[in-house]
């Protein structure tokens, strides 16, 4: 539960708990008290500008608060089943951003946000994680060229963040994280006055976000029925509340106690892992701040493109941009001395940072070049997200080159996909996310990846993905035609699964008691049964009763026994003798059975 | 004009008593189970028993008819003053036809006055049977041996064999299909739909999901290719799967008004390669 901020006026919205609204209290009667203004601040340390240092600290504070509340966010699940993962997805996404700025030694807001959001884009997991990363990426774009930001610039940047977040979703749904972000940004932006500070902005911003989150069940019927607020919105609120706490000095984003940039350690502690016999594996992360000199070059006409070209000849991960008479570059290279010599031809250094990446190398530096590459490029590659050893083997048998272990509560990140792509040497890669909540991360990775055409097949579960993969003929020349064939095969599939219920509920007209096993077909709960075996059988029959369904593939989960399966097989043989039923020892987590009816 | 005899081999999957009715003589191919040296003539074991053994894991090895056997039989026929038209099992799948052809070549010298024709059916199972049936019909209509041989040569490229198997492992094991083509069969629920091409080879044409779809896919092929959908002669062969035969018959009747003239088991020699659960549809089409 959120506590009101220090020095903040008590307001009704702070009573919002991030629990199912119906779980332990009656739905709150709507309070129509006018919103209390947050405008007057008594604190003399008011912050007029958001700087890179402050942003890093806030980011860390946001991540920290989300981290300690991720489980609560997970539980805000529309279905009363234990597969909520929004909190974990968002946490891992923001932590990937934090790791990226960990060793960043700059007060440049645009740069901090660029690196932070890029880290998030790569680490994005789950749809909420992808949307979150896009929100920050858009915001970062809004800060481009800004060393620091006043409330107006901040508001405009956040508006861009909202825009990009909406654009990242094919069919934006209101009553979700999108709405929560948009309403909060709009409100806070509308409240900006010349006397506004970063703090007043965030007070308005977070305040409205609370309210907006509380309104999500009104906007989205499934939330209302489930008695929860939107989980993605809740995750965003924790992050922004974390920002706010740092701003208000209630929380220090860093574990080191200081906020003053001057006291920030200038160099990372030297790690003894690099010794006299170590291999120089990663080169130097080289960052220069260059003052262009009038006696060396024509400052106005100076173009960074030739410089980028030079850098790409001796390194990678290149960033170079010019702001007025200052050029900033970032490059990973084995020959930093050449960079220094070259750059002195047109300027002098304001700052130089050269770090041996073999010492401070972390996995979040970015995508490393793919290991040994086979000579011949094959036409098609396949990447599938699988859950459980049986399902993984099945996909490998059908020709998947790379599998990524993941599933409902374990969404792989964009970077996981990029790494898998990098291990395949093919002209075109088909990706089977096999989960609706993994699709966007795969799609984002597809956009980033340049070494092959990547086609994401929107398979919502392992069964559907398997049908698509087996139905397609991978000998054809036209990848788009193959993708269409795969999608057409999926049209004919109806999927379902059973799951234990973690709370009492009444949904889709089905009464559910905690501990029951519920059966979900498509996106609807169709039954609830105190007996797991009965639930499995009943759902299987329901699926086979759908029009034109003759065949059922049953994926048995890790938690079920062979006896359970035999029982189901016997019941189906006796009662649906004409059905073709295949059993797979899938080994998936959470769901005792996943069914695919064709 | 001398009387002539149409000769065949057991790969046509037509029961001996029916062949007798048609006036067709034949030699059986042979098989044995891999765990024993006992050799059986094709058809010697009841198909139900045979498929039950296969389902239980028995592996059957088949053998072609050799030149000697053909020479022996053909000699008797020619000696009796009859001409001979041998229509044999696809050379794309067995050396049986070649044995018959060699036997015929050898006997030409011995019987210079006899007419001897051999036709490589490039067909198998009841597709081969259907070729025999229609050629016999032609003969009964008064065709000479030359006319009957020419008719069979022409007709064979229009005899459609469309079939599905429950498991490609049998065709793969017997080397009757290339391993890469067999690959799709390993997938759960994937059923291949195959046909026989103009060279008498088995070709994996496409795959569908589920047995039911593969059965209806055969009917779809009938609709696409059959020359006379309502009145044509249709044969069905099966590896002990009566239920699917009924489904297929029903779809053919409902969709095309087609009547199936003959339903028979896939014999033990063909069945040794196609396995239990094979369902095959044979009919005359515009092309294969």
* CATH code: domain of residue A436: 3.40.50.510
Same domain membership, residue A186 and residue A206: yes
Contact B188 A598 (CB under 8 A): no
Q: Which of A470, A553, A580 sits opposite B211 (nearest CB)?
A: A580
Contact B189 A551 (CB under 8 A): yes
What is the residue range of A526's domain? 494-597
If one compares B181 and A165, the residue with the highest pLDDT of the two is: A165
Same domain membership, residue A301 and residue A241: no
Chain A residues with CB-CB distance to B211 below 8 A: 550-551, 580
**Residues A531-585 pLDDT 10s:** 999 999 999 999 999 998 989 999 999 989 999 999 999 999 999 888 999 998 9
In sequence order, the β-bridge partners of residue A321 are: A328
**Residues B144-187 pLDDT 10s:** 999 999 999 999 999 999 999 988 888 878 777 755 555 555 56
Strands A593-597 and A551-556: antiparallel
Please give the DSSP secondary-structure letter assigned to residue A261.
G
Q: Which of A148-162, A228-242, A300-314, B12-26 has the lowest mean pLDDT?
A: A300-314
Contact A470 B189 (CB under 8 A): yes
Residues B280 and B12: beta-carbon distance below 8 Å: no
What sections of B56-144 are H helices per DSSP? 67-79, 96-110, 125-140
Predicted pLDDT of residue A540:
96
- Asked whether residue A60 carries a pLDDT value surpassing 70, the answer given is yes
What CATH number should be reported for the domain holding residue B251? 3.30.1180.10
Same domain membership, residue B213 and residue B184: yes
- Asked whether residue A4 carries a pLDDT value surpassing 70, the answer given is no
What is the residue range of B114's domain? 4-32+63-156
Q: Could you tell me if B184 lies within 8 Å of chain A, comparing CB atoms?
A: yes
Predicted pLDDT of residue B150:
97
What CATH number should be reported for the domain holding residue B8? 3.40.50.10440
Domain count, chain A: 4
Same domain membership, residue A468 and residue A384: yes
Classify residue A382 by burial, with Cβ atoms within 10 Å: 0-12, 13-18, 19+.
buried
Q: Can you tell me the mean pLDDT for A486-505? A: 91
Q: Which of B187, B206, B212 sits opposite A580 (nearest CB)?
A: B212
Chain A residues with CB-CB distance to B186 below 8 A: 397
Q: Is residue A38 part of a domain?
A: no
Q: Could you tell me if B157 lies within 8 Å of chain A, comparing CB atoms?
A: no
Length of chain B: 288
Q: Which of A489, A550, A584 sits opposite B188 (nearest CB)?
A: A584
Same domain membership, residue A478 and residue A389: yes
Q: Can you tell me the mean pLDDT for B136-142? A: 97
Q: What is the mean pLDDT of chain A?
A: 83
pLDDT band for position A596 (50/70/90)?
A: very high
**Residues A429-474 pLDDT 10s:** 999 999 988 999 999 999 989 889 999 999 999 999 998 988 877 8
Strands A580-584 and A551-556: parallel
pLDDT band for position A29 (50/70/90)?
A: very low
Same domain membership, residue A384 and residue A348: no
Choose the final residue of a domain: A465, A491, A517: A491
pLDDT band for position A369 (50/70/90)?
A: very low
The ipTM, to two decimals, is 0.72
Same domain membership, residue A386 and residue A247: no
Give CA–CA dist A123/A129, Å, rounded. 8
Q: Can you tell me the mean pLDDT for A479-485? A: 92
pLDDT band for position A10 (50/70/90)?
A: very low
Q: CA distances (Å), A45 to each of A49, A174, A249, A365, A390, in order? A: 12, 38, 10, 35, 59
Predicted pLDDT of residue A26:
41
Strands B83-88 and B4-9: parallel
Contact B210 A551 (CB under 8 A): yes
Q: Is residue A268 part of a domain?
A: no
Give CA–CA dist A241/A184, Å, rounded. 12
Give CA–CA dist A152/A156, Å, rounded. 6
pLDDT band for position A45 (50/70/90)?
A: low
Q: Which of B184, B206, B212 sits opposite A551 (nearest CB)?
A: B212
Q: CA distances (Å), A165 to each of A100, A133, A174, in order? A: 21, 8, 12
pLDDT band for position B261 (50/70/90)?
A: very high
Give CA–CA dist A193/A37, Å, rounded. 12
Same domain membership, residue B117 and residue B75: yes
pTM of the model: 0.66
Same domain membership, residue A156 and residue A137: yes
Predicted pLDDT of residue A280:
74
pLDDT band for position A359 (50/70/90)?
A: low
Q: Could you tell me if B260 lies within 8 Å of chain A, comparing CB atoms?
A: no
User: What percent of chain A has a predicted confidence (pLDDT) above 70?
Assistant: 84
**Residue B242, token pair as written in the block:** 């009566």
Contact A553 B190 (CB under 8 A): no
- Asked whether residue A126 carries a pLDDT value surpassing 70, the answer given is yes
What sign does the dihedral B143-B147-B151-B153 (CA atoms) show? positive
In sequence order, the β-bridge partners of residue A429 are: A381, A454
Contact B211 A551 (CB under 8 A): yes
């Amino acid at each position: 539960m959120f506590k009101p901020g220090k020095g903040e006026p008590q307001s009704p919205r702070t009573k919002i708990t991030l629990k199912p609204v119906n779980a332990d209290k009656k739905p709150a009667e709507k309070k129509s008290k006018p919103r209390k203004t947050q405008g007057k601040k008594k604190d003399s340390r008011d912050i007029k500008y958001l700087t890179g240092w402050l942003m890093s600290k806030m980011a860390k504070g946001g991540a920290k608060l989300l981290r300690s509340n991720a489980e609560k966010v997970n539980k805000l699940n529309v279905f009363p089943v234990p597969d909520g993962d929004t909190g974990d997805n968002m946490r891992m996404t923001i932590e990937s951003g934090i790791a990226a700025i960990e060793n960043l030694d700059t007060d440049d807001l645009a740069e901090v946000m660029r690196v932070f959001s890029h880290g998030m884009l790569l680490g994005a997991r789950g749809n909420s994680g992808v949307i979150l990363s896009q929100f920050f990426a858009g915001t970062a774009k809004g800060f481009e060229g800004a060393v620091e930001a006043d409330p107006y610039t901040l508001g405009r940047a956040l508006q861009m963040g909202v825009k990009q977040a909406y654009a990242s979703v094919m069919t934006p749904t209101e009553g979700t994280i999108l709405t929560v972000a948009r309403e909060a940004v709009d409100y806070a932006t509308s409240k900006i006055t010349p006397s506004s500070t970063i703090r007043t902005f965030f007070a308005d911003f977070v305040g409205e976000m609370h309210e907006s989150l509380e309104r999500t069940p009104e906007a989205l019927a499934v939330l209302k029925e489930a008695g929860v607020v939107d989980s993605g919105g809740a995750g965003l609120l924790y992050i922004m509340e974390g920002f706010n706490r740092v701003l208000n000095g209630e929380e220090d984003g860093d574990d080191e106690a200081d906020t003053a940039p001057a006291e920030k350690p200038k160099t990372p502690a030297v790690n003894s892992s690099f010794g006299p016999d170590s291999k120089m594996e990663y080169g130097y992360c080289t960052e220069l701040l260059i003052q262009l000199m009038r006696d060396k070059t024509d400052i106005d006409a100076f173009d960074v493109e030739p410089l980028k070209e030079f850098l790409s000849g001796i390194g990678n991960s290149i960033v170079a941009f010019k702001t007025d008479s200052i050029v900033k570059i970032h490059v990973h290279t084995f020959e930093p001395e050449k960079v220094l010599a070259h750059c002195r031809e047109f300027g002098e250094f304001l700052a130089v940072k050269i770090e041996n990446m073999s010492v401070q190398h972390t996995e979040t530096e970015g995508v490393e070049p793919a290991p040994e590459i086979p000579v011949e490029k094959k036409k098609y590659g396949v990447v599938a997200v699988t859950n459980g050893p049986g399902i993984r083997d099945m996909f490998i048998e059908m020709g998947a080159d790379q599998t990524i272990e993941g599933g409902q509560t374990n969404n792989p990140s964009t970077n996981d996909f990029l790494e898998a792509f990098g291990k395949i040497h093919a002209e075109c890669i088909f990706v089977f996310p096999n989960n609706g909540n993994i699709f966007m991360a795969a799609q984002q990775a597809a956009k980033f990846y340049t070494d092959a055409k990547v086609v994401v097949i929107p398979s919502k579960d392992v069964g559907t993905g398997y049908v698509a993969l087996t139905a397609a003929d991978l000998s054809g020349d036209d990848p788009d035609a193959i993708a269409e064939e795969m999608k057409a095969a999926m049209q004919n599939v109806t999927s379902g699964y059973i799951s234990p219920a973690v709370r009492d509920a009444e949904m889709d007209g089905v009464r559910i008691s905690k501990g029951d096993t519920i059966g979900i077909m498509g996106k609807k709960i169709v039954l609830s049964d105190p007996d797991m075996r009965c639930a499995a059988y009943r759902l299987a029959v329901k699926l086979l009763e759908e029009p034109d369904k003759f065949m059922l593939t049953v994926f048995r989960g890790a938690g079920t026994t062979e006896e359970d399966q035999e029982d189901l097989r016997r019941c189906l043989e006796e009662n649906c003798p004409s059905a073709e039923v295949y059993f797979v020892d899938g080994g998936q987590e959470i769901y005792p059975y996943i069914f695919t009816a064709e | 004009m001398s009387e002539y005899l149409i000769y065949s081999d057991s790969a046509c999957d037509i029961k001996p008593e029916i062949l007798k009715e048609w006036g067709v003589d034949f030699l059986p191919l042979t098989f044995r189970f891999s765990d024993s040296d006992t050799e059986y003539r094709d058809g010697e074991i009841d198909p139900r028993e045979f498929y039950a053994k296969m389902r239980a894991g028995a592996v059957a090895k088949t053998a072609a008819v050799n030149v000697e056997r053909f020479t022996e039989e053909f000699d008797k026929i020619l000696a009796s003053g009859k001409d001979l038209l041998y229509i044999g099992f696809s050379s794309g799948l067995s050396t049986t036809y070649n044995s018959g052809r060699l036997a015929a070549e050898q006997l030409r010298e011995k019987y210079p006055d006899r007419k001897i024709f051999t036709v490589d059916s490039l067909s198998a199972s009841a597709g081969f049977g259907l070729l025999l049936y229609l050629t016999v019909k032609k003969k009964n209509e008064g065709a000479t041996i030359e006319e009957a041989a020419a008719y069979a040569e022409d007709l064979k490229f229009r005899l459609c064999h469309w079939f599905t198997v429950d498991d490609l492992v049998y065709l793969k094991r017997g080397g009757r299909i290339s391993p890469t083509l067999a690959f799709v069969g390993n997938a759960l629920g994937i059923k291949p739909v195959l046909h026989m091409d103009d060279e008498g080879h088995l070709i994996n044409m496409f795959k569908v999901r589920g047995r039911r779809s593969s059965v209806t896919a055969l009917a779809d092929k009938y609709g696409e290719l059959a020359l006379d959908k309502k009145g044509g002669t249709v044969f069905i062969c099966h590896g002990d799967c009566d239920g699917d035969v009924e489904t297929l018959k029903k779809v053919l009747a409902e969709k095309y008004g087609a009547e199936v003239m003959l339903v028979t088991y896939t014999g033990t020699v063909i069945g040794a390669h196609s396995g239990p659960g094979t369902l095959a549809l044979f009919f005359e089409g515009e092309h294969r």
